[in-house]
Chain A
Amino acid sequence: MVKVYSMTSCPWCVKAKKYLESKGIEYQNLNIEEDEAARVACQQLSGDLMVPVITANDKDYVLGFDKAKIDTLLGIAG
């Protein structure tokens, strides 16, 4: 399952989630403002609390909205 670490008002988080939806990719939205476990997991994964962070395997991730990198990470065909 794809995970998106996000915050409520973060515009690039909104864009990242809309992009996944436009590609028909299901994801788990993990709000680091509201969910302490998600906050800890986000920090462990990326070493920081900047969002959005997108991962599919809890190891490799993309920080920020970068379409090309997200496509590569998730194997999305152009």
Chain B
Amino acid sequence: MAKEHRKMDVVVIGAGMAGLTAALYAGRSGRSVLVLESELVGGQIANAADIENYPGLPGVDGGKLISAVQTQAENFGAVVDEFDPIVRVVLSAQPKIVETEGAVYEAGSVILATGMTRRKLPLKEAGRYEGRGVHYCELCDGQAYAGKTVAVIGGGNAAVDAAEYLSKLASKLYLIQRSELRADAAAVKRLREHENVEILLHTEPRALSGDKRLTTATLFDRKTEATRELPIDAVFVNIGVEPNTALFAGQVELDAAGNIVAGEDCRTNLAGVFAAGDVRTKEVRQLTTAAADGTAAALGAVKYLRSQSK
């Protein structure tokens, strides 16, 4: 059966802070807006239990914050669809084509706000233990390890936040980082206050083992070059993120790391196509800068649509 064609002024791809802020601004400008998300609405902050650095909302829950932004966008007419994955985009055409499993959208402008996804643990056996001791969602899977020994791998803010959340469930928590911690000092200080937390710096996992489930991590100390076996029930991986741009590769300009090349105005090399949030080339990737990008991209898209209708 042929897919239905639908016209939209703006299609936003990605429903994190950048995408939903863009939808809010474009909707408030009177434009028809569709937001498509194939993973989690909220992106990376959907997993954040306690956000300390969003101005005006200290300690806000990531899920609640993003839900409020979604409601704001929907109140201005934006539609958010998180159950219709994209299969193809054509960004150089006018109108632009965004084809999902269920429909073909013809869009005057497209805002790319696909953000980042967590990097997988680069050990060949990690996939075998995924869901059985190797995990990527603390809030979903942490409860299974109440009273057990777990490790968080990574040293950025997300890793330290995950470690703090899990330290309240686990009997023993290791934070394993291959170099120094990169997280904010306040978050590290708070984590160190938990007596069941042990931080292993300059240490990296070299192998995982166990019969049906993970039971042991082999750790390598990069300073002493010593190897040891750590009995462990689970590792939660937070070793950084990578841009979600595979869908646009070959169409929109990407830098060597896969980020979409765009400046502060969020314009890409393609007319009418904007990049917003963490997926854009930029120095600082924060929730606040994602919201700022969403604003700039939406207002740029509205201006572009106005120029096209003259």
Chain A positions within 8 Å of B, measured between CB atoms, are 7, 9-15, 18-19, 22, 32-33, 48-52, 63-64, 67, 78
Contact = CB atoms under 8 A, between A and B. Distances in A.
Q: Would you list the 8 A-B pairs with minimal beta carbon distance, nearest first?
A: A49-B144, A11-B46, A50-B141, A10-B140, A9-B139, A50-B144, A11-B40, A10-B139
Interface string B131-147: 10000010111011010
B287 to A, nearest CB: 16
Contacts of B143: 7, 32-33, 49-51
B52 interface: no
Given A50-B131, A63-B131, A13 B140 contact: yes
A18 to B, nearest CB: 7
Interface of B: 40-42, 46-47, 49, 61, 63, 82-83, 101, 131, 137, 139-141, 143-144, 146
Contacts of B137: 10-12
Given A18-B82, A50-B131, A11 B144 contact: no
For B49, B61, B137, B144, the residue with the greatest tally of chain A CB atoms inside 10 Å of its CB is: B144
Contact of B41 (A13, A15, A33, A50): A15
B284 to A, nearest CB: 25
Nearest to A67: B83
Contacts of B131: 50, 63-64
